[in-house]
Amino acid sequence: ILLAVLTLSVGSQPITDSQRLFTMAVSRVQHLHVLAQRYFGNFENSLGSEEKRQLNKIFLQDFCNSDYIISPIDKHETQRSS
């Protein structure tokens, strides 16, 4: 939703190549994150109960590192953080 709002607000201004590339990169990263979640969910569902217990010992249940990473809001903040 945020990406759509940004795209609409920038729609009235000419989009530079760097803005377009940044928007495409954000979209692709979001897509890859969703795919990774889906693949990991399928993997977890294919495990037996003992295997799930072993996996839970390695990874804390309901914990995702990306929940605690503050995402940059624009390209300048992204460049500064990298």
Sign of dihedral through CA atoms 41, 43, 46, 47? negative
pLDDT of residue 73: 74
pLDDT of residue 27: 92
For residues 81 and 72, is the Cβ–Cβ distance under 8 A? yes
pLDDT of residue 81: 65
Could you tell me the pTM of the whole model?
0.46
The full set of domain ranges for the chain reads 1-80
pLDDT of residue 1: 53
- What tokens appear for 81 in the block? 């953080």
Region 40-64 average pLDDT: 75
Q: Which residue has the tokens 């709002």?
A: 5
pLDDT of residue 79: 73
Mean predicted lDDT score pLDDT of the chain:
75
pLDDT of residue 63: 55
What tens digit of pLDDT does each residue of 5-19 get? 555 555 556 668 888
